[in-house]
Structure 1
């Protein structure tokens, strides 16, 4: 089967992976593995991954789906049927690993959970992605990026309020994507361990685990050294709730503690005369360079342990903003970079589709889709010395006959499965 299906020359060309993925986290993991040369077979219901229907521009074709399913094979099959389950069993015998981001109960119902599949192939590396982890009362709850942003404090931590609304991190499903990366790490770690022990295993990761991991610099408490936000939470939060303070106002009070951090003055966005720039001055010498360039005095740079008036940071930031508003973005980029101060212009996502730097590094690539449409999309996040063939996302069920043939099924049997809607 491996000889029939795998034609890649990438570092993972010896691996065949089944992806029981939908929406973002699982499919992103599948695409990452395919980008490294693995044969990734995406198992879809006859109706397809729901993400295919997200603002589709043609039947079963959406930009969201195409963007995170590059290079995988689509096998559309009815797993609720006896025949479909038998076909899957034959497929499982020949694979190396599984990526799954179904709900736990769904996997058990379809008999695609680890305990069911290891009876067929006990050497598989099974990576299970859940919303809240496999233990605890929330373990069976569905997990979506926006829900997890709320549960893990990401939304309040961002502190974005627009006209009274609390803002999500909506430019991307960053928790989903980070979980996809974790799933790939897990699968490859399992493959390496199997090469030593000869044994397969199940490895779990979750949206919760990755959302918390990405906030590790905030999610830490050292005894006797509470952060300003921890102090606020312990001493003020419940008092505000008891007085029935509006949540927007509570969040505003919380953000005042975050904003008081010296870092926020020099690691943030300022508008300019014609746009905006973002500063990345983490080092003290860069901060000093900014104050010299702008001719603004900030005593915190001399003694940050000293207590300053409550609105000191606001006054400094106001002075910064007034200076930046006087000139264009390009003016400030030249001035700041000349003084070795890390900075960049704030841009729109759409600008990256034609960005020279991204294109030069194959971070933005062009592909021909099976519909005949030309596609500009993000490229692989890893760049190997040798070229790995890139292929756009598959048509629903595009590889059904190829996969069944590789398993030894005859043409008449395949036609019968299509007629009975066992496969698409």
Structure 2
């Protein structure tokens, strides 16, 4: 027997079934098991939320690992993309294209509350792992699909990515540039929103199951999420048969981004008449307040070409931080224009746990994003560990009822992949 085979056999023999994060306090979803077949961003973000809330999320990858693990690596090799979306999860590697792999997954699905996937519609069914097949072994299962266009319609089976969703939903058109070119609102907007809506759908289905005892299939799409984020704008456009685009860095002449005298930017929001009073007081521009041309909000918008340069000129007379103090003292909503790098020192982002610093067993101190909401009685318990590929394969198969001899045989034939570590060389085997 070769050394790698000896190491694998010892790992299988020594593995016991024990909670990976038993030392952390119980979360809101403690006791919920999720079988996760998702890749890229939409699905993994939803399941990461579940993991942060205490659910046991088992990420299933193919032997060799998904492409996500190698996406956007730093020069040192740190995968910020994968880490941010998969921390706190468990990992097992199974070839689900084989009959044996399919049977293993069905055994595991029988132990889970939720199964989530984001393959193109019909793929899981062709693999024998669709909703009906899973429901046959687990009648109360919540089977969730993170889709592109949604489960219905002529394009339901077409591939979808974030930028495609932003285009077809109208978001890229809404954010046209100065030259009229369609633009992405931001990278990953539809993906992230799709993940949030998917998580909402699954949690709703779990709540329904608590009341009725019945599971169900749920779907949340990228297109639907991007449209949903713009509910008011879409409704207004459909009513008036016109798209009201932003037209640059400002929503109105008195709401948007302005440059201060030190070259730094701030954003103000002075949208109503009361705030117009506060803004002119803060700027020391009583003349603007008394000017009949700017007396009402509609009048100010008609005279926007005249008013905006006056406000811009005033902001150039002081530095940004000084203006922030003055504007806040006058009850004008104002904020710094932060970069993502600025968030590392932003007092509100840190105080609320939106940005957190964690110790990773491989990469040391890692700054990343926490939960975007708070639960007083059952706060999130952010997992610090990004799983190595297949590190929980053995334990999950033991949970599914397999013997150690069966696991050894499956690993030897490549149906599953397990993570082993050579303590002498420090190498993965």
TM over 0.5: yes
Residue in 1 that maps onto 2:95: 78
Q: Find 1:289's aligned residue among 278, 286, 292.
A: 278
Query: CA separation of 1:71/1:222 partners in 2, compared to 1, >3 Å: closer, same or farther?
Result: closer
Any conservation in 2 of the 1:288–1:301 contact (CA below 8 Å)? no
2:327 and 2:43 map into 1 onto residues whose CA distance is 41
Q: CA deviation at 1:270?
A: 1.0
Residue in 1 that maps onto 2:199: 184
Residue in 2 that maps onto 1:348: 339
SS at match of 1:37: coil
Any conservation in 2 of the 1:370–1:395 contact (CA below 8 Å)? no
Query: CA separation of 1:262/1:373 partners in 2, compared to 1, >3 Å: closer, same or farther?
Result: closer
Where does 1:22-421 land on structure 2 (aligned, <5 Å)?
Answer: 22-57=39-74, 62-161=79-178, 166-170=182-186, 172-221=187-236, 226=240, 230-231=241-242, 255=245, 258-259=246-247, 263-273=251-261, 274-294=263-283, 295=285, 296-297=288-289, 299=292, 302-304=295-297, 309=302, 312-384=303-375, 385=377, 388=381, 390-421=383-414
Ranges of 4+ aligned residues in structure 1 off by more than 6 Å: none
1:291 and 1:180 map into 2 onto residues whose CA distance is 42
- More displaced 10-residue stretch of structure 1: 286-295 or 391-400: 286-295
2:312 and 2:366 map into 1 onto residues whose CA distance is 40
2:318 and 2:83 map into 1 onto residues whose CA distance is 41
Q: CA deviation at 1:308?
A: 7.1
2:30 and 2:348 map into 1 onto residues whose CA distance is 29
Name structure 2 gaps, 5 residues minimum: 1-16, 418-429
Deviation string 1:166-195 (CA, Å, 9 cap, x unpaired) is 53223x412111111111111111111112
Any conservation in 2 of the 1:4–1:406 contact (CA below 8 Å)? no
Q: CA deviation at 1:391?
A: 2.5
Any conservation in 1 of the 2:356–2:368 contact (CA below 8 Å)? yes
Query: CA separation of 1:389/1:214 partners in 2, compared to 1, >3 Å: closer, same or farther?
Result: closer
- More displaced 10-residue stretch of structure 1: 386-395 or 53-62: 53-62
Residue in 2 that maps onto 1:240: none
Query: CA separation of 1:363/1:305 partners in 2, compared to 1, >3 Å: closer, same or farther?
Result: closer
Once superposed, what is the RMSD of the aligned Cα atoms?
2.8
Deviation string 1:249-297 (CA, Å, 9 cap, x unpaired) is xxxxx85xx5499952232111122210011223421122213433134
Deviation string 1:316-348 (CA, Å, 9 cap, x unpaired) is 112211211222111211111110100011111
Q: CA deviation at 1:16?
A: 0.5
Any conservation in 2 of the 1:260–1:313 contact (CA below 8 Å)? no
Any conservation in 1 of the 2:268–2:334 contact (CA below 8 Å)? yes
Any conservation in 2 of the 1:89–1:120 contact (CA below 8 Å)? yes
**TM-score calculated relative to the size of structure 1:** 0.84
Residue in 1 that maps onto 2:425: none
**TM-score calculated relative to the size of structure 2:** 0.83
Q: CA deviation at 1:52?
A: 1.4
SS at match of 1:76: strand
Name structure 1 gaps, 5 residues minimum: 234-253
Query: CA separation of 1:128/1:299 partners in 2, compared to 1, >3 Å: closer, same or farther?
Result: farther
Query: CA separation of 1:161/1:24 partners in 2, compared to 1, >3 Å: closer, same or farther?
Result: farther
SS at match of 2:132: helix
